[in-house]
Amino acid sequence: MEALATTAQAVNNFKNGLKGELTAEQKRGIAEIKKLVAVFKTEKSNDDEEIQKLEVMMKEKRAEFEERRKNAIAASDARKAESDRLKQLWEDRISDDKKEQETAYTGASMGYDKEKARQFRAVFRKRLRRSKFLVPPKESDSSEINEAEI
């Protein structure tokens, strides 16, 4: 009961203070509350400034990300286009090779062309004549070397 009585007494004292003059304790409490409110307002303004800075930074980062994303997409498209171009070149080359083979097969079926065969063999003959390593040494040369050694 005493706890209820002290609480009721405190409430009554507070009500009396509102009707009349404030007590020193109430004045101190109000001053403390005003200080806390001032501190809260300064902290809130600091926090608001920091939030605004962060929002600006986030917008800049988003813009940078979007730019990098666009550049990456453009690079990917460029790589794909280059790959497609190279594939097309390769397919064209293969088709050209197939056409050449088909013309060669049709030439073989038409008959033997002596002039083409002569030109084809001439390249290898020149190489054989000019190459020291592909032409076997003559026996007369080796016999001279053997006689010189003795």
The answer to whether residue 142 is domain-embedded is yes
Identify the burial level of 17 via C-beta atoms within 10 angstroms of its C-beta, where 0-12 means exposed, 13-18 middle and 19 or more buried: middle
The answer to whether residue 9 is domain-embedded is no
The answer to whether residue 10 is domain-embedded is no
The answer to whether residue 120 is domain-embedded is yes
The pLDDT assigned to 103 comes to 76
Structure tokens, 18: 């509102």
C-alpha atoms less than 13 angstroms from C-alpha of 131 in its C-beta half-sphere: 10
Maximum CA extent, the chain: 146
Distance from C-alpha of 15 to C-alpha of 23, rounded to nearest angstrom: 11
The answer to whether residue 66 is domain-embedded is yes
139, 119, 115, 135: which is closest to 127 by C-alpha?
Answer: 135
Task: Give, in order, the Cα–Cα distances in Å from 122 to each of 45, 105, 125, 137.
Answer: 95, 22, 5, 21
Structure tokens, 16: 């009396």
The answer to whether residue 14 is domain-embedded is no
User: What type of residue is 41?
Assistant: K
The pLDDT assigned to 17 comes to 57
Query: Could you list the residue range(s) of the whole structural domain that residue 108 is in?
Result: 21-149
Q: What is the mean pLDDT of each run of 10 residues along the chain (150 residues)?
A: 66 64 83 92 95 96 96 95 95 89 70 80 70 59 51
The pLDDT assigned to 130 comes to 60
Distance from C-alpha of 123 to C-alpha of 52, rounded to nearest angstrom: 81
Structure tokens, 50: 């920091």
The pLDDT assigned to 77 comes to 95
Q: What is the DSSP letter of 53?
A: H
Report yes or no on whether pTM surpasses 0.95: no
CB 128 within 8 A of CB 134: yes
The pLDDT assigned to 139 comes to 62
